[in-house]
Structure 1
Amino acid sequence: MILNYFYVMAGAALGGLLRYVVADLVQRNSKIIFPFGTLTVNILGSFLLGLIIFFLGEREIISPELRLFLTVGICGGFTTFSTFSYETLALIQSAEFLQAAYNILLNVILSVAAVYLAYLLSKIL
């Protein structure tokens, strides 16, 4: 049981590092004021979470401990809902209301769609 905390902690550390690298890479290559880095990691993280749960987990390809490490740990550390919330508030405070609305809609809709896509792929594979 105590090992579960270690699995989550180790996964979250790795997920956080991956989040920083991916979001920074995407954002540095963006030419407009929009948090594409956060959007990218939220979509990727949602897709990966869906694959892990629906493809690997439901087929019992991975152990419960590895599932915990990958889902709560890596995906939890990789996705950025708190960053998404802050960036949305910053857009609102800057009177970028349309950008804030796009940020909310794109993150929510595309992240849910990414999990659904992973679900569909897991049924095909």
Structure 2
Amino acid sequence: MLTNTLLAVAIGGSLGAVSRYGLAQWVSSVWPKAYPLGTFAVNVLGCLAIGVLYGLWLARPEASPLLRQGLIIGFLGAFTTFSTFSLDTLRLMESGESLLALGYILLSVCACLAATWAGLALTR
């Protein structure tokens, strides 16, 4: 069973990482790069998805644990980019954009909490 769990997390993780890269690149190509919207979009979408998945598993606890681990731990663990968010924020601060960095922190945290809540609310 442990091997199946590791495989589910590994497959989910690789798909999440590739998806994160693709979405962040697309967003960055559409909007200006002065503000890290690619990372922001990935984090909000990931929070929405984790809210939806959590709500679905609350409603259906009999659902496959392997699917849950592959999607939540693997895919979303690799897809969401909080470490990248932190680095983007630090780089804004280092470039003298402290007010923009603060706005990015507040907007990201509030939007991601709201997206997680919305995802869970969609399943209730």
1:97 shift after superposition: 0.8
Residue 67 of structure 2 corresponds to 66
1:32 shift after superposition: 5.3
Counterpart code for 1:26: V
Distance 1:105 1:62 in 2: 35
Which segment drifts farther, 38-47 or 102-111?
A: 102-111
User: Could you list the runs of 5+ residues in structure 1 that have no partner in the other structure?
Assistant: none
Q: Normalising by structure 2, report the TM-score.
A: 0.93
User: Could you list the runs of 5+ residues in structure 2 that have no partner in the other structure?
Assistant: none
Residue 93 of structure 1 corresponds to 94
Query: Secondary structure of the residue that 1:39 maps to in structure 2?
Result: helix
Distance 2:90 2:50 in 1: 26
Residue 24 of structure 2 corresponds to 23
Distance 1:81 1:32 in 2: 18
Distance 1:35 1:80 in 2: 12
Residue 84 of structure 2 corresponds to 83
Distance 1:120 1:48 in 2: 12
Query: Secondary structure of the residue that 2:32 maps to in structure 1?
Result: coil
Distance 2:44 2:21 in 1: 15
Q: Per-residue CA shift, 1:11-55, capped at 9, x if unaligned?
A: 111000000000110011112510000000000000001101112
Q: Normalising by structure 1, report the TM-score.
A: 0.93
Instruction: Give the share of equivalent positions with the same residue, in percent.
Output: 37
Superposition pairs of residues 1-125 of structure 1, within 5 angstroms: 1-31=2-32, 33-55=34-56, 57-60=57-60, 62-123=63-124
Counterpart code for 2:122: L
Number of residue-to-residue matches in the alignment:
122
The root-mean-square deviation of aligned C-alpha atoms, in Å, is 1.2
Distance 1:49 1:88 in 2: 23
